[in-house]
Chain A
Amino acid sequence: MSEYWNDIFGGAKSLVVGLNITVRELFKPVITEQYPHEVPVMKPRFRGHIELTRNEETGGANCVVCGMCQRACPSGCITVDGVKPEGAKKKVLTTYTLDFTKCSLCGSCVESCAFDAIQFSKDYNLASTNKDDYIFDLVKRLEEKR
């Protein structure tokens, strides 16, 4: 019998305590970020999709087309190709394609690169209804960024 009364009075008390907490929260300021109206700032280490880094001297890509990133990628989403101009020592990058539909953002490519040729971008607004929008031509992106 005492359990019965405990349930009623203890229970009623716990319910009042609960209501008290929620009503106090009601008058506190909101904490959510209004995303399309407020643009979030990405952290410095944010790992977006990769992009090519610029060589300060030449203005072109830092990439020497060694193909390490292509081999390191677990999902095979990177295609690198380059040509060796007459008399030049290094290869020059011609295509760097990232198939973002397969990419899992693991960062193996950036880690494997010995020339600081790729880095993580801070892009995050990547929604699209067209699959082809996710085949990134990184060389073109580098030129456009100039």
Chain B
Amino acid sequence: MTVPIQCAPDETFVLNLGPQHPATHGVLRVKLTMDGEYVVKAEPVLGYIHRMHEKMAESGTFAQFMGNTPRMDYLSALSYNQGYVMAVERAAGIQVPERAEYIRTITVELNRISSHLLWFGAFVLDLGGFTPLLYAFDDREKILDLLEHVTGSRLTYCYYRFGGVYNDIDDDFITGTRAFIKRLRSRLPSQYHDLVTGNIILIKRLKDIGIISQEICRKYGATGPVLRGSGIKYDVRRNEPYSIYPELKFDIPCYKECDSMARYMVRMDEIEQSLRIIEQALDKLPGGPVQAKVPKTLKPAAVDCYANVEAARGSFGCRLVCDGDKGPYRLKLRSPTYSNLSLFGEVAEGMLLADALAFMGSLDLVIPEIDR
């Protein structure tokens, strides 16, 4: 005797969204209590891809943890690389040559664009549009080629070193990057804004959906485009400047609507701003060495320091406690998506399933970064 699903009119049911679901982009599980198609309660369940990165850092030397940083957020790996490297440089008091800082800025901004392009594609895919994904991948492929040319890998870059970068950039990279800037600028209005941003279906699905108030942002510590889409103009590159960002001119895109469309627009505008940053950095690129003289095995004094960078998804913090040994005594990694996801449960209450998933897409989740 088979028993079909039985539901009284006022009864709710639990829908396990994930860990294997097309819209969760990885192994996130969300326990949704549903009333028909409406979400009554949403509870993200984490831990499916926890790899103990922090513990791994404690058991190795400083250099040995380098390979782990890109594995946290594989879409904007260089930001995480930079955050960790900056923390160690602060602890050991290493001065980075100017050229290396410029190269870091150029590559990290390229990486930010590639991350936003992938998010754009995946987000539209969440909304059911498949074609924009491949147009975005077409452009992203050019970035991956450029970064492969300098770093040697396409996704999990491990390019920065304590006191500089691994390899110097060459003229091919510079001309290629300039050509890419031109190409993306010519494609942004048509392939992105005309095809997707202006589309009535997309606007109807994003406008006034998933409103994150400023209180909720503060309560959960949201950062990055999620925060800037809620009208709070906070960007680590401006508010706690690091590297060469104070010398560059760029705007912080900020929208006051607090809805999914605002977050979408923040990211699309950030692509343009990153292009501006890269252009200026290429113009100002100084000569000189790309690697400071650093002892082979680092042994910083017992210090406690913190480095904060603006990754593609928000502020990535790295707290490093040293005890005078060859490796970190404790390394705390503050990843932005963890905080950004935390507010999902509160905001998604009362939403339709389709809207909740569109809202989840607008948070730009990378699951390995949440679990670390």
Contacts and interface: CB of A to CB of B under 8 A. Distances in A.
Touching chains A and B, CB distance < 8 Å = yes
A107 B194 contact: no
B138 A31 contact: yes
Contacts of B201: 15
Give the residue among B60, B68, B131, B198 with the most A Cβ atoms within 10 A. B198
A71 to B, nearest CB: 9
A107 B158 contact: yes
Contacts, number: 69
Contacts of A46: 148, 152-153
Given A15-B199, A21-B194, A120-B152, A74 B138 contact: no
Interface size class of chain B, counting residues whose CB lies under 8 Å from the partner chain: 20 to 34
B241 interface: no
B294 to A, nearest CB: 12
A17 to B, nearest CB: 5
Contacts of B153: 46-47, 105
A72 interface: yes
A21 B191 contact: yes
Contact of A74 (B65, B198, B296): B65
A99 to B, nearest CB: 15
B64 A104 contact: no
Given A104-B71, A106-B158, A108-B67, A43 B198 contact: no
Contacts of B195: 17-18, 21-22
Main secondary structure of the interface of B (DSSP, over half): helix
B152 A43 contact: yes
Given A106-B66, A106-B158, A107-B158, A17 B194 contact: yes
Interface size class of chain A, counting residues whose CB lies under 8 Å from the partner chain: 20 to 34
A7 interface: yes
Interface in A43-100: 43, 45-47, 72-74
B175 interface: no
Given A45-B149, A46-B153, 18 more contacts: A12-B200, A14-B198, A15-B199, A15-B200, A17-B195, A22-B131, A25-B131, A25-B135, A43-B145, A45-B151, A47-B152, A74-B60, A104-B68, A105-B153, A106-B67, A107-B166, A108-B67, A112-B296
Interface of B: 56, 60, 63-68, 71, 131, 135, 138, 145, 148-153, 156, 158, 166-167, 190-191, 194-195, 198-201, 296
The 7 closest A-B pairs by CB, nearest first: A106-B67, A11-B200, A74-B64, A47-B152, A45-B152, A14-B198, A21-B195
20 contacts: A15-B200, A17-B195, A18-B195, A21-B191, A21-B194, A22-B195, A45-B148, A46-B152, A47-B152, A72-B64, A73-B64, A74-B64, A74-B65, A104-B156, A105-B67, A106-B66, A107-B158, A107-B166, A108-B66, A112-B296
